[in-house]
Each structure stands twice: as structure tokens, then as C-alpha cells.
């Protein structure tokens, strides 16, 4: 720093000015001495005397001295200006996209320091751009997990971060596409299996009847009853499959104002005889104030009915099904709990997947179609809600959260 202060541009320009003044003074002194010597010598005397008489000595010195000073200053300051122009040209090249300009100068002043800063900046940008280009090539080749280093507080760092986000999003979309393809294959496999099983039974028993391979009318009726039962199960599966497909293909909601407490009370009243027949008691606990939501009543009945039926099927040993309604901030939260055997921890994350059944035998006698909970989740999510399950040795609970209706929030909290 001290060295730069000594050889600073200001001192170089000041020195150039002083040297220009000195050179000008010397030349003027020589001219004055020469004119004094030649003033009596022909043919110079006439010209010199004319100039002195008409212009004056001072004016002649000024007319000659000013151009001499300017020319001397331009010549002496030329190295400084030349170095500045090199830095300027290098910056222009950087602006045009050339990050390897010939910019280094050796002048031992601020221009040299500036040229080194520009050189280092260009080299750094060039290295970083090479990293980004290499990263983009890897991403273009399919390595979407590759991450370009991100420089903090740097515009190119923001570009690199955006590229990384794009790569992550593309990777996520590709993973989702693979999952969708696998899900489609699983759907076809599951539907084929679940349709073929009852259909095979129906065709088998109808074949026996068609070929008159029954002993008497009683056996015939028995075969017909079995075929009819299998047909009913087949219709149930087709109905559930149609409902699931309809829910996942953008079916619009017919949403209306609904008092969720009244809705649950009516639903539980309808299930009283069914629960009584199954040896189960339903218990309903409601908020002390009204709870309003905006919902499609028909679809919501289907969602809650699927969960209650699931609780009845797997919670018979517990003898009770508890339905609780609470208001938590912006949401109405409904818990449907049974006290039967717990859901294994390994199965709990998958129970809302289509065709997933805890009973791996896929028997329709020990379970439903495997679509009921998937349909419930689709319906709740269409209402901008969430659904989850908790299970331990004490109880199994399905917890549904639905957004409250805005215009009724203040009324319900008063």
C-alpha cells in the first residue's frame, strides 16, 4: 500500500506535468537565447524584429509554450493512458463474454492493482462458469442428482441455485412419473386379480348349473346363492373402482354450507342398528358450539362411512367406536377410534394406498376391496383436508382435518 502511494497515478501525472513544464521552459529559454543571438544576423533579424514589434515577446512565448507543454504532457502521460486503455479493453471483452482477456499490466500503481483484480475476477468467473457448464452437461445426461456449487451473495450463485432447483424438480417429476407408471401397473394387476377371482367362481358355479351337475333343487339354489354373492362382491369392487377413478380424475365438488356436528350426529344415528347387530356401541362427542364447513355432503358421507365400516370390521373385539369432533384453530378435526387389534407399524404408512390390505391373502372374505380408505383420502384431500391414522395396543384412530368455513369462524368461537 505504501509503495502504491509513492508510485500513485496522481504522482505520475503530477510528475508528467512538472516535466512538461520543465521541458517547455528549457525549450523557451533556448529559443529566447537563440533569438537574442540571431537578432542582429541577417536574414533572421527582420523576422525576429517583426515578431517582437507586432506580437511582443510575451505573446510569442505563450503561443510557443502552450503547445509545447500540451505535447510534452501527452507524450509523458502516454504510458499511464495506454495501461488504462488496456484495462478498459479487457473489461469490454469480459462484457462480451471473453473471460480470459490479456489484462495484466506492470506499472506499480493503481492500474496494475486494478488489472490484477480484473484478471482474478475474470478467472474466477471463468472457473465458475466452467463448473456450471459441466454441471449442466451432467444434468442433461440424466444425472439429475448432481448439484452445482452455489456461491453465496452472488448473482451466478442464484443462477446455479435455480438450476439445482430445476434439476431437483425434474428428478422429482421423473420419480413421480415412474411411481405413476408402477402404480398403473399395480392397479391393472390388482384389478385383474380381484375381478378374476369372483368372476371365476361365478363362471364355475354357472357352468355346473348349465351342465345340470347338481343333485337336487336345494343344491341348485345353493350354487345360485353362491354365484349371486360373488356377483354382488364383483359389483362392489367395480363400484369402488369407478368411484376411485372418478375421484382422481378431477370430479367437481358440489360444496355447500354444512354443520359438521349435525352431520356426524345424523350419520351415527343411521349406524346405530348396524352397530347393534355387530355388537358394537357408537359413542359421539361433539363441541359445545356449532362447527361449520363447506363440503359436498354426498361425498363426505362416503368418506366417513368407509372409515366407520373399516372400524367396525377390524375393531369388533373392542365393542366401542368413538367419534369425536374438535375445533383446532382453522380446522375441524374428527377422530374415529376403535379398540380392536392394532395395525402393524409396517402396514400403517400404506393403509391409504389403493388395493392395500393388511391381510396379504387378498381374500374378499377377510377384507374389503382395498379401495375404501383410498377413496376416503381422495375425498378428504379434495376438500383441502388431511387424513392420517394412529395405532397402538390401546386403540386405532383415523384423524380427519377439514378447513372451517371462514364466515362462521367468529360465530363458533363466541
68-81 confidence digits (pLDDT tens): 999 999 999 998 89
Give CATH 3.30.565.10 domain extents, the chain. 256-413
Angle between helices 57-95 and 110-140 (to 10 degrees): 20
pLDDT for residue 1: 44
Q: Is the pLDDT of residue 169 over 50?
A: yes
Determine contact, residues 358/347, Cβ cutoff 8 Å.
yes
Residues of 56-76 as b/e, b for ≥16 C-beta within 10 angstroms? eeeebbeeebeebbeebbeeb
Q: What are the pLDDT digits (tens) for 18-46?
A: 999 999 999 888 888 887 777 777 776 77
Q: What are the pLDDT digits (tens) for 256-305?
A: 999 999 999 999 999 999 999 889 999 999 988 889 999 988 889 989 98
Instruction: Give dist(CA 328, CA 291) in Å, integer.
Output: 11
> 2 Cβ partners below 8 Å, 6+ apart?
none
Q: Collapse the DSSP code of 363 into the 3-class scheme (helix H, G, I; strand E, B; otherwise coil) and give the result.
A: coil
Name the grid cell of 411. 360465530
**165-247, what's its fold?**
Helix Hairpins (1.10.287)
Task: Enumerate long-range contacts of 134-143, CB under 8 Å, 24 or more apart.
Answer: 135/160, 135/163, 136/163, 139/163, 139/167, 139/170
Determine contact, residues 340/316, Cβ cutoff 8 Å.
yes
Give backbone dihedrals phi and psi of 74, rounded to 5 degrees, phi first.
-60, -45
Give CATH 1.10.287.130 domain extents, the chain. 165-247
- Is residue 335 within a helix (H) or strand (E), and if so which, with residue range? strand 331-338
Instruction: Give dist(CA 211, CA 205) in Å, integer.
Output: 10
By residue count, the chain amounts to: 414
343 DSSP assignment? P
Name the grid cell of 116. 490484477
Architecture per CATH, 256-413? 2-Layer Sandwich (3.30)
Residue range 378-384: average pLDDT?
A: 89
Amino acid at each position: 500500500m505504501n509503495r502504491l502511494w509513492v508510485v500513485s497515478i496522481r504522482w505520475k501525472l503530477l510528475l508528467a506535468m512538472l516535466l512538461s513544464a520543465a521541458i517547455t521552459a528549457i525549450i523557451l529559454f533556448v529559443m529566447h537565447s537563440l533569438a537574442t543571438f540571431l537578432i542582429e544576423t541577417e536574414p533572421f533579424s527582420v523576422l525576429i524584429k517583426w515578431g517582437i514589434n507586432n506580437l511582443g515577446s510575451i505573446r510569442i512565448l505563450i503561443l510557443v509554450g502552450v503547445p509545447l507543454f500540451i505535447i510534452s504532457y501527452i507524450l509523458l502521460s502516454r504510458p499511464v493512458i495506454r495501461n488504462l486503455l488496456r484495462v478498459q479493453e479487457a473489461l469490454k471483452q469480459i462484457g462480451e463474454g471473453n473471460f480470459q482477456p490479456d489484462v495484466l499490466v506492470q506499472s506499480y500503481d493503481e492500474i496494475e492493482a486494478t488489472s490484477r483484480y480484473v484478471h482474478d475476477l475474470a478467472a474466477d468467473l471463468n472457473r465458475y462458469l466452467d463448473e456450471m457448464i459441466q454441471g449442466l452437461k451432467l444434468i442433461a445426461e440424466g444425472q439429475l442428482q448432481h448439484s452445482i456449487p452455489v456461491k453465496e451473495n452472488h448473482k451466478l450463485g442464484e443462477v446455479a441455485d435455480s438450476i439445482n432447483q430445476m434439476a431437483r424438480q425434474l428428478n422429482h417429476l421423473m420419480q413421480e412419473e415412474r411411481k405413476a407408471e408402477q402404480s398403473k401397473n399395480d392397479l391393472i394387476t390388482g384389478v385383474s386379480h380381484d375381478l378374476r377371482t369372483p368372476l371365476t367362481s361365478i363362471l364355475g358355479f354357472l357352468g355346473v348349473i348349465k351342465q345340470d351337475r347338481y343333485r337336487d333343487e336345494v343344491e341348485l339354489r345353493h350354487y345360485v346363492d353362491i354365484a349371486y354373492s360373488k356377483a354382488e362382491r364383483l359389483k362392489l369392487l367395480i363400484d369402488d373402482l369407478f368411484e376411485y377413478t372418478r375421484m382422481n380424475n378431477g370430479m367437481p365438488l358440489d360444496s355447500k354450507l354444512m354443520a359438521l356436528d349435525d352431520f356426524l350426529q345424523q350419520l351415527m344415528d343411521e349406524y346405530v342398528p348396524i352397530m347393534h347387530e355387530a355388537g358394537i356401541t357408537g359413542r359421539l362427542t361433539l363441541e359445545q358450539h356449532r362447527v361449520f364447513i363447506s363440503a359436498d355432503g354426498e361425498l363426505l358421507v362416503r368418506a366417513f362411512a368407509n372409515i366407520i365400516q373399516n372400524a367396525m370390521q377390524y375393531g369388533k373385539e373392542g365393542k366401542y367406536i368413538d367419534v369425536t369432533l374438535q375445533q383446532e384453530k382453522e380446522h375441524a378435526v374428527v377422530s374415529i377410534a376403535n379398540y380392536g387389534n392394532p395395525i402393524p407399524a409396517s402396514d400403517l404408512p400404506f393403509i391409504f394406498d389403493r388395493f392395500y390390505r393388511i391381510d396379504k391373502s387378498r381374500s374378499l372374505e377377510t377384507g374389503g376391496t382395498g379401495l375404501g380408505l383410498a377413496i376416503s383420502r381422495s375425498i378428504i384431500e379434495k376438500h383441502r383436508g388431511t387424513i392420517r391414522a394412529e395405532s397402538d395396543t390401546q386403540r386405532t384412530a383415523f384423524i380427519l382435518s377439514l378447513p372451517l368455513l371462514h364466515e362462521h369462524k367468529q360465530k363458533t368461537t363466541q
